Chain A
Amino acid sequence: MLTGIAFAIRLLIKIAALAILAPLIQGCIKQFKGRLQGRHGPRLLQPFFDLIKYARKEQVISRETSWVFSAAPLFSFAAVLTAALMVPWVDRSPWPFPADLILFVYLLAIPRFMMALAGLDAAGSFGGMASSRESAVSALAEPVLLLSLLTIALPGGSLHLEAIPVAANSLPLAARAGGLAAIAFYCVVLAEIGRIPVDNPDTHLELTMIHEGMILEYSGPLLGLLHFTHWIKQITLLVLLFNVFIPIGMMVESTGAWTAIIFSALIAVVTFLAKMITAIALLAITETWLAKLRLFQMMDLLGFAFVLSITALLFVATGV
C-alpha cells in the first residue's frame, strides 16, 4: 500500500516535471540556437505561451479527414507519456512496473505509426509525402535505437531502463563500446526528434519537411497537444542519452539518514540540470553547425550509426 502511494507520488512529480521542463527545454534550445546564429531568439517561455494560445484557438479541420485524424494525437500522446515515465531522471530505484527497453522502443513506434496515418488522412500531397518519409527514416532509426541501447544494457544483464545506469557502474561513455554507441544513439535522437541534419523543425518549406508535413493540417488544441507530445519525446530521449551513457550523480536506493537522502537528492537534481544544459547546448550547436541532409542521404547517416553500434557490439561481445 505504502509503496503504491509512493509510486503514485513519484509518478505525479514526474508528470509535473515533464509538463514544466519539456516546453522549457524547447524554449532554451530555440533561444540558444538563436544566439548562436546571431539572432535574439524567442523568449525562454515562448513554448508555454504557444501552448496557451493553441488551447484557445478554434479547430480548423479538413473535410477529407476521418476519425484517425482526431485519434492520432491522443494515441501518440498516451504512448509518449508512458514511454517518458519509464525513463529514470534523477534516481535509479526500480519502478514497480517493468519497463524494458524493447517496450520503450516499441512505445516510441506508436506515435510514428499514428502520425504517419494522420498524414495520409487529409488527402494532401504534403501529408502523404511526410508520412512516407517518416516511415522510411524511422525504419532505419529503429534498429540503431535498439542496438545502441542493447550494447550498454547487455553486459549488465538487465534490460530495465532504470537498471542500465545501475549495472554500468563506470562511465560507459569513456569505454570504447559506450563511446561508439553514444554517437550512434545521438544520431538516432536527431532523427527521432526531427532535428537538423535529418529534418528541419523550423521550416514549412513544403519539399523538405517531414515532421511538420504530417501535422500540417492540425490546428488549435490538437496542434498544441502534438507539439507538447513532441517536446516530451525530445526531453525523454535526451535524458535517456545522458542517463545511460553518463550515469553520474544519480540517486541510489533511498536508505540511510534523511539528511543523506536529501543531500544525494540535491546532487542528483543539480547534475540532472547540468546534463540538460549540456544537452541543450549540444543540440543547438549541432543544428547551427550542420546543414540538413538530402533525404536519401539519411540512409548514409543512419547506416553510419548502425555500423557504429555494430562495432560497439563487437567490442562488448569480445570483451576487449
Chain B
Amino acid sequence: MILISIACVLLFAGSISGLFGRSFAISGRRTGAILQAIGCLALTIAGYQGLNGPGWESVPIVLPHLGAIAIGMDRLTGLFIMLLGIMGFSTSLFASSYLEHLEQRWNFHWLPILYGIFICSMSGVFLARHTILFLFFWEMMALSSFGLVILESWQERNRRTGFMYLAITHLGAALLFLGLLWPCAKAGLDFTFSGWLVGIVSMSVKARFIVFSALLLGFAAKAGLVPLHVWLPRAHPQAPAHVSALMSGIMIKTGVYGMMRFFVTVSPLPMPAMWGWLLLFAGLASALLGVLYALNEREIKALFAYSSIENIGIIFMALGMGLLFRSEGRYALANLAFVAALLHSANHALFKGILFMGAGAIQYRTHTLNLDELGGLARGMPILSIMFFVGAVAMSGLPPSNGFMGEWLLYRSLIAGFSVSHLSWKLFLPLIAALLALTGALAAAAAVKSFGCAFLGRAKKVDLHIAPDPDNYMLSGLGLPAFCCLLLGFFPELFSQPIAKMIAEFGYGPMPQPHASLMWPRIAGTEGLQPLLIASLLTVGLLAAWVVLKRLSYRKDKYAAPTDISSIEAIRIVDTWNCGTPLTERMSYTGSSFSEPFLVNFALMFSPRRNFRALGSLAPLLPTRLTYAIRVSKVFEDYMYRPAIAGILAISHSFQRLQAGSLQGYLSLMFFALIVLLIAAK
C-alpha cells in the first residue's frame, strides 16, 4: 500500500517535472523520466511482494451509495503490477532520452502527464476490488492512452486512428459496464467484487450467458482479439515508441487480467465447454491472422502491433484450454493451461517491450520505420542490434528464450487434451497444435523480416553515418527486458513457480507439482523440460565450434573482436558476390520482397491486388521507369467493418428525410414519440 502510494506520487511528480521541459538548466525531461522510473521501481517491488507473499486488501474510502471502495493485492495482481513496474521502469529510462526528438512538437507537454496517468490507471485496474473503481480506472486508462495516441493530432490519419480507437474501446467499455454492474445490481447494489460474485451466482443461466458474453467482448476488445483487433495495428504505431511498448506489453494484457479475474479467479461457476472452444478458436484466428498480417507489414511498429495480436491469440488459446479442461473436470490440466496463459503474458510483455523500444531507437536515429528504406544498421548499432536480436528470438519462440517456454506449456496442454475421450478433442487439439506450429514458423519469418531488413544488408535510403548506438539511457531501457527475457528463458520457474502457487490458490484440484528446483511444474502425463540443461548443451556446442574455428581462422591475432575482422590475417574482406557486377543498395532484399512468397502461398487470404506499370515514352517494350504497388485485403475490415459502417451510414442517411427543417414537424415528432413511449411504458 505504501509502495503503491509512493509510486503514484513519484509518477505524478515526474509528470509535473516533465512539464517544464526546457524551462530550467537541468533538463526537466530527464528529471521527470527518472522520477517516473523510480516510481515504477516501487511498483515492481510492490508487485514482487504481491506475487510471492500474502496479499492485502485495504479500503481507503467509503462512499455513501457505493460502499467500501476497496483495493487489494494478491498474486494475480502482483504479477501484472510487477510486469508493469519492470516495463514502466525501462520505458521511463528509455523515454528520458527518446523524448528529445519529440520536444519540438507542439503538444509534447501533454506526454509526461498522460504517461504518468496511464501507468497509474493501469496499476489501478489491477488493484481495484470494486467494480465502479475498476471501471473508473479502465476509462482513465482508455482516455489517457487515447491522448497518447493522438499526440500528433495535426495529421488527419492520426485523428482518424484515435477516434477509431476511442470508438472500439468505448464499445468494449459499455459492454463491461453491463457485465460488471448488472450482477452487482442483482446482489442488492453491492458493487464490490464479492458482490458481483453473489449476483452472478444468483442469476439465471440465460442472464449469466449475457453477462459473460458482454465481459468477453469487452475484454477481447481491449486485448485486440480478432475480430475486435482493428484499432490495434493502427493505434500502436501512432503512439511514441515507449508508449507503444507499454500499450502492447501491458495495456492489452488488462484484457487478459480481466479474463483471469472474472472468468477464472472469482467465478466458481461451471462454465460450459462452449466458452473454452470459443476462446480457443478466437485465439487461433487471432494468432494466424495476426502473424500473417504482421509478415506483410512494411512498417516495423505496425508489424509488431500485428504480432501483438498473434500473441494475444496464443494467450487466449491457453485461457480457452483452461476453461475446456475445467468443463471436463480435469483441474490439473486446466491449471497447466492457465500457467501457460500467464507466463506467455509476462513473456510477451518483456519481448514486445524490447522490440517496440528498439523500433523507437531506430526511428530516433534514422527518422524512418519503413523496412523498405532501412538496412545495415547492425554495423552502426551493434549493441542495439544484439538487444533487438534477443527480442526477435523471443518473438519467434525459439529455445532457449522465454518465448519458447510459454508456447511449450501451451503445446503441452493442447496435446494433453488428447487424453480426454471425446472425438472432437482428439481430432481438433492436435490439429490446433500443428496450426500453432505454423504460427510459430510464420512469427519466426516476421522476426527475420523485422530484424533482417532493418539491421542487416545495406541501407536503402538511410545514411548509416548518422546512426550510431543510442545513448546509455535508451540502451539500458532495452537492456533490462532483454536481460529478463534471457533470464526467464533459462530459469522460467522464477515466474512459473509463483504463478503455479497462485493458481493453486484458486482452489481447483491438484496443482502442477514442482518436480525439482531446475525443472518445470510437472503433472501426470507431461514430462518436464529442463531449460537449463538444454541451454548448457547449446552453449557447449557453441563454445566448441567457436574454439575450433578460432584455432582454424584467427591464426595471427588470437582474440581480435569478430567485428574488427580487418585485423586478422586469415580473413580477406571482399565485395558480396553479385555475378561480377557492382552491388547497389537496390539489389538488397527489402521487407516487401522478403514477404512476397508468403503473399503467393497464402494468396487465398491476402487476395493481393498488384498494380505493375511500365512508364516512359517507349513504355511497354523499353520502359524507363517501373512502378509497383500492391494492396492486400484485410478480411475483417473489408468484409465486416466496411459493410457495417456503410449500413449504419445508409440508415442514418435515410433518417435525413425527417430533417426537413420545420420546427412544427420536429415538435409533432417528439410528441408522437412521447405518446408511443407512454403507451409502451404502460
Q: Are B589's CB and A128's CB within 8 A?
A: yes
Chain B contact patch, size range: 35 or more
At the interface, yes or no: A9 with Cβ under 8 Å from chain B? no
Q: Are B457's CB and A123's CB within 8 A?
A: yes
**Minimum distance in angstroms from B574 CB to a CB of chain A:** 5
In the bound complex, how far is the Cα of B437 from the Cα of A102, in angstroms? 9
Chain A residues with Cβ under 8 A from B284's Cβ?
none
Interface residues of A in 245-299 (CB under 8 A from B): 295-296, 299
Q: Are A66's CB and B598's CB within 8 A?
A: no
Give the residue of B440, B453, B525 whose beta carbon is less than 8 angstroms from that of A142: B440
At the interface, yes or no: A68 with Cβ under 8 Å from chain B? yes
Q: Are A131's CB and B541's CB within 8 A?
A: no
At the interface, yes or no: A159 with Cβ under 8 Å from chain B? yes
At the interface, yes or no: B578 with Cβ under 8 Å from chain A? yes
Q: Are B562's CB and A151's CB within 8 A?
A: no
Chain A contact patch, size range: 35 or more
Q: Are A103's CB and B408's CB within 8 A?
A: yes
Interface string of B436-462 (1 = CB under 8 A from A): 011011101101110111011110000
Q: Which residue of A lies closest to B448 (CB)?
A: A116
At the interface, yes or no: A310 with Cβ under 8 Å from chain B? yes
Interface string of B559-586 (1 = CB under 8 A from A): 0001101000011111111110001010
Interface string of A114-127 (1 = CB under 8 A from B): 00110011111111
Q: Are B538's CB and A78's CB within 8 A?
A: yes
Chain B residues with Cβ under 8 A from A123's Cβ?
375-376, 456-458, 576, 583, 585, 587-588
Interface string of A42-69 (1 = CB under 8 A from B): 0000000000000110111111101110
Task: Name the segment of B10-18, B427-435, B631-639 touching the other chain.
Answer: B427-435
**Minimum distance in angstroms from A219 CB to a CB of chain B:** 9
Chain B residues with Cβ under 8 A from A136's Cβ?
445, 597-598, 601
Interface residues of B in 289-322 (CB under 8 A from A): none
Q: Which residue of B lies closest to A302 (CB)?
A: B601
Q: Which residue of A lies closest to B525 (CB)?
A: A157
Q: Which residue of B lies closest to A77 (CB)?
A: B545
Q: Which residue of B lies closest to A102 (CB)?
A: B411
Chain A residues with Cβ under 8 A from B441's Cβ?
109, 135, 138-143
**Minimum distance in angstroms from A320 CB to a CB of chain B:** 11
At the interface, yes or no: B553 with Cβ under 8 Å from chain A? yes
**Given A100-B527, A128-B457, A225-B549, also A143-B589 (CB < 8 A):** no
**Minimum distance in angstroms from A309 CB to a CB of chain B:** 8
Q: Which residue of B lies closest to A11 (CB)?
A: B537
**Given A113-B393, A123-B588, A221-B549, also A81-B378 (CB < 8 A):** no
Q: Are A113's CB and B448's CB within 8 A?
A: yes
Q: Are A221's CB and B456's CB within 8 A?
A: no
Chain B residues with Cβ under 8 A from A82's Cβ?
534, 537-538, 541
In the bound complex, how far is the Cα of B538 from the Cα of A71, in angstroms? 13
Interface string of A78-121 (1 = CB under 8 A from B): 11011001000000000001101011011101101100110011
Q: Which of B441, B457, B539, B553 has the most CB of A within 10 A?
A: B441
Q: Are A60's CB and B572's CB within 8 A?
A: yes
Task: Name the segment of B228-236, B269-277, B395-403 touching the other chain.
Answer: B395-403
Q: Are A151's CB and B575's CB within 8 A?
A: no
At the interface, yes or no: B546 with Cβ under 8 Å from chain A? yes
Task: Name the segment of A23-31, A33-41, A167-175, A311-319 touching the other chain.
Answer: A311-319
At the interface, yes or no: A209 with Cβ under 8 Å from chain B? no
In the bound complex, how far is the Cα of B588 from the Cα of A98, in angstroms? 42
Q: Are A109's CB and B419's CB within 8 A?
A: no
At the interface, yes or no: A21 with Cβ under 8 Å from chain B? no
Q: Are A132's CB and B593's CB within 8 A?
A: yes
Q: Are A139's CB and B541's CB within 8 A?
A: no
**Given A113-B444, A159-B527, also A120-B453 (CB < 8 A):** yes
**Minimum distance in angstroms from A294 CB to a CB of chain B:** 11
Q: Are A66's CB and B382's CB within 8 A?
A: yes
**Minimum distance in angstroms from B580 CB to a CB of chain A:** 12
Q: Are B598's CB and A67's CB within 8 A?
A: no
Q: Are A116's CB and B574's CB within 8 A?
A: no
Could you name 30 residue pairs across A and B whose Cβ atoms are closer than 8 Å? A61-B565, A70-B562, A74-B545, A97-B533, A105-B437, A106-B404, A109-B396, A110-B398, A113-B444, A113-B448, A121-B378, A121-B452, A123-B585, A124-B578, A128-B457, A139-B441, A139-B445, A146-B433, A147-B434, A154-B430, A158-B527, A159-B526, A159-B527, A217-B576, A220-B570, A225-B545, A295-B597, A310-B431, A317-B426, A317-B430
At the interface, yes or no: B144 with Cβ under 8 Å from chain A? no
Give the residue of B430, B444, B542 whose beta carbon is less than 8 angstroms from that of A112: B444
In the bound complex, how far is the Cα of B601 from the Cα of A217, in angstroms? 28
Q: Are B562's CB and A106's CB within 8 A?
A: no
Q: Is the interface of A mostly helix, strand, loop or mixed?
A: helix
**Minimum distance in angstroms from B452 CB to a CB of chain A:** 4
Q: Which residues of A contact B (CB under 8 A)?
A: 55-56, 58-64, 66-68, 70-71, 73-75, 77-79, 81-82, 85, 97-98, 100, 102-103, 105-107, 109-110, 112-113, 116-117, 120-129, 131-133, 135-136, 138-147, 150-151, 154, 157-160, 206, 216-217, 220-222, 225, 295-296, 299, 306, 309-310, 313-314, 316-318
Chain A residues with Cβ under 8 A from B545's Cβ?
73-74, 77-78, 225
**Given A59-B553, A139-B445, A142-B438, also A106-B589 (CB < 8 A):** no
In the bound complex, how far is the Cα of B434 from the Cα of A313, in angstroms? 11
At the interface, yes or no: B415 with Cβ under 8 Å from chain A? yes
Q: Which residue of B lies closest to A79 (CB)?
A: B538
Q: Are B527's CB and A317's CB within 8 A?
A: no
In the bound complex, how far is the Cα of B376 from the Cα of A95, in angstroms? 43
Q: Which of B404, B565, B594 has the most CB of A within 10 A?
A: B594
Chain A residues with Cβ under 8 A from B596's Cβ?
132
Chain B residues with Cβ under 8 A from A85's Cβ?
537
Q: Are B382's CB and A67's CB within 8 A?
A: yes
Chain A residues with Cβ under 8 A from B572's Cβ?
58-61
**Minimum distance in angstroms from B374 CB to a CB of chain A:** 12
Q: Which residue of B lies closest to A82 (CB)?
A: B537
Chain A residues with Cβ under 8 A from B552's Cβ?
55-56, 220-221
Interface residues of B in 587-613 (CB under 8 A from A): 587-589, 593-598, 600-601
In the bound complex, how far is the Cα of B449 from the Cα of A220, in angstroms? 28
- Top 6 A-B residue pairs of the complex, sorted by shortest distance between their CB atoms: A128-B589, A78-B541, A317-B426, A66-B378, A136-B597, A120-B452
Q: Are B456's CB and A313's CB within 8 A?
A: no
Chain B residues with Cβ under 8 A from A141's Cβ?
441
Q: Are B583's CB and A124's CB within 8 A?
A: yes
Chain B residues with Cβ under 8 A from A216's Cβ?
577
In the bound complex, how far is the Cα of B561 from the Cα of A172, in angstroms? 52
Chain A residues with Cβ under 8 A from B530's Cβ?
97-98
Chain B residues with Cβ under 8 A from A59's Cβ?
553, 570-572
Other 11 A-B pairs with CB < 8 A, given A97-B537, A109-B396, A317-B427: A63-B574, A63-B576, A64-B376, A110-B399, A120-B456, A120-B594, A123-B458, A128-B594, A139-B442, A139-B601, A310-B431
Q: Are B541's CB and A143's CB within 8 A?
A: no
At the interface, yes or no: B529 with Cβ under 8 Å from chain A? yes
Give the residue of A121, A151, A316 whose beta carbon is less than 8 angstroms from that of B456: A121
Chain B residues with Cβ under 8 A from A127's Cβ?
576, 589
Chain B residues with Cβ under 8 A from A110's Cβ?
398-399
Q: Which residue of B lies closest to A73 (CB)?
A: B545
Q: Are A68's CB and B456's CB within 8 A?
A: yes
In the bound complex, how far is the Cα of B593 from the Cα of A98, in angstroms? 40
Chain B residues with Cβ under 8 A from A206's Cβ?
579
**Minimum distance in angstroms from B388 CB to a CB of chain A:** 11
**Given A66-B456, A216-B577, also A120-B600 (CB < 8 A):** no
Q: Are B534's CB and A97's CB within 8 A?
A: yes
**Minimum distance in angstroms from A80 CB to a CB of chain B:** 8
In the bound complex, how far is the Cα of B527 from the Cα of A105, in angstroms? 17
At the interface, yes or no: B177 with Cβ under 8 Å from chain A? no
In the bound complex, how far is the Cα of B530 from the Cα of A58, in angstroms? 39
At the interface, yes or no: B281 with Cβ under 8 Å from chain A? no
Q: Which of B452, B575, B600 has the most CB of A within 10 A?
A: B452
At the interface, yes or no: B227 with Cβ under 8 Å from chain A? no
**Minimum distance in angstroms from B413 CB to a CB of chain A:** 12
